[in-house]
Amino acid sequence: MQTKLVQLETRIRELELLANEIADLAMQRPRLANPRLSLIAQRWYRGARELLAQQNFSGLEEFESFYTAIFKDTAAAGVMILFDNDFYDDFAERLKGAQALVRSLLDEVLSRELPVVSQLSFAIAADEFDTAFELFNQSQGNEAVLRASGVVARVALERHLFTVAAEHSVEVKPKPPTKKPAAQDALNALAKQNVITAIQKSEWELLFKIGNHCAHPKETVVPGDVEKIVIRGRELASVIL
């Protein structure tokens, strides 16, 4: 998604330059028909409209109404409308409104796709939880397999947790700052930003504790705990997106 947003931002900047040139050309005196103005208006409108349409922008009709109000049908005919002093201010305001709509595309796409990556993350985590559950069922008293089940579930939980933090633009600050951010740092940050509740945070902390025990042979693990991280972990991940 990040690459897509960068590409959108770059294209929006290009269109912004065209719109600014329209405004500059329209201000020139005397205000006569200007082929350059007509060309730039067409490039700006066609480029912006197609970009908005590709992204299913909710304000597409509003953008088209701005264009119609600004240029009537003269731009399509290859002749820019002639502006007198009485109409120029109205033209400038309408152009600014159209520009604002194009600029807002990035925010709409970001808000629309915000849950998509988290949902994809959970889909991946769900596969890992399936694997963890299969290992749990196959352990049959084999401690190594039982521990592997808990570790796989813990990895799924942690990856999903950091994905949620990134998609909600929550900065995860490690403590101490010289270390790599840990799951606890992510939980603290998400709780502080109210992405997760205090109860959810406590549950996640308990599950991570179980997962950590599974990863360290010196710690004792019991089947009931491992079953909890596999089953309850999947449930928590499914509701925190």
pLDDT in tens, 207-216: 999 988 988 8
DSSP string for 84-145: -HHHHHHHHHHHHHHHHHHHHHHHHHHHHHHHHHHHHHHHHHHHHHHHHHHHHHHHTT-HHH
Other CB atoms closer than 10 Å to residue 54's CB: what's the count?
Answer: 10
Judgement on whether residues 96 and 138 belong to the same structural domain of the protein? no
pLDDT at residue 47 in the model: 93
Give the count of domains, the chain. 2
Judgement on whether residues 121 and 211 belong to the same structural domain of the protein? yes
Q: Could you tell me how many residues make up the chain?
A: 241
Given 91, 109, 127, the domain boundary residue is: 109
Which tokens sit at 78?
């290859």
pLDDT at residue 169 in the model: 83
pLDDT at residue 33 in the model: 63
Find out whether 89 and 26 touch, Cβ atoms under 8 Å. no
Please give the residue range of the domain that contains residue 216. Answer: 115-239
Find out whether 195 and 118 touch, Cβ atoms under 8 Å. no
The one-character DSSP state at 59 is T
Judgement on whether residues 76 and 166 belong to the same structural domain of the protein? no
Residue 25's domain is classified under what CATH number? 1.20.120
Judgement on whether residues 162 and 234 belong to the same structural domain of the protein? yes
pLDDT at residue 206 in the model: 92
pLDDT at residue 75 in the model: 46
Judgement on whether residues 122 and 218 belong to the same structural domain of the protein? yes
Given 81, 109, 137, the domain boundary residue is: 109
**Crossing angle for the helix pair 85-139 and 60-71, to the nearest 10 degrees:** 160
Residue 163's domain is classified under what CATH number? 1.20.120.580
Better-scored residue on pLDDT, 147 or 70: 147
200: burial class by Cβ within 10 Å (0-12, 13-18, 19+)? middle
Condensed to tens digits (0 to 9), the pLDDT of residues 147-204 reads 888 888 888 888 888 888 887 888 888 877 778 888 898 899 999 988 889 999 999 9
142: burial class by Cβ within 10 Å (0-12, 13-18, 19+)? exposed
pTM of the model: 0.50
Where does the pLDDT of residue 116 fall: very low under 50, low under 70, confident under 90, or very high at 90 and above?
Answer: very low
Given 79, 109, 139, the domain boundary residue is: 109
Judgement on whether residues 152 and 233 belong to the same structural domain of the protein? yes
| Residue that the structure tokens 């902390």 belong to | 205
Judgement on whether residues 140 and 234 belong to the same structural domain of the protein? yes
Residues 16, 100: Cα–Cα separation, whole Å: 10
63-72 burial, b for 16+ CB within 10 Å, e for fewer? bbebbeebbe
pLDDT at residue 78 in the model: 38
pLDDT at residue 144 in the model: 87
The amino acid sitting at 31 is R
Judgement on whether residues 233 and 123 belong to the same structural domain of the protein? yes
Looking at every residue in the chain, the average pLDDT score rounds to 80
Residues 180, 22: Cα–Cα separation, whole Å: 49
pLDDT at residue 9 in the model: 86
Other CB atoms closer than 10 Å to residue 183's CB: what's the count?
Answer: 20
Q: How far apart are the first and last CA of the chain?
A: 16
Better-scored residue on pLDDT, 230 or 110: 230
pLDDT at residue 80 in the model: 47
Judgement on whether residues 72 and 163 belong to the same structural domain of the protein? no
pLDDT at residue 224 in the model: 92
Judgement on whether residues 89 and 62 belong to the same structural domain of the protein? yes
Which tokens sit at 54?
């590709």
Better-scored residue on pLDDT, 81 or 238: 238
Judgement on whether residues 153 and 190 belong to the same structural domain of the protein? yes
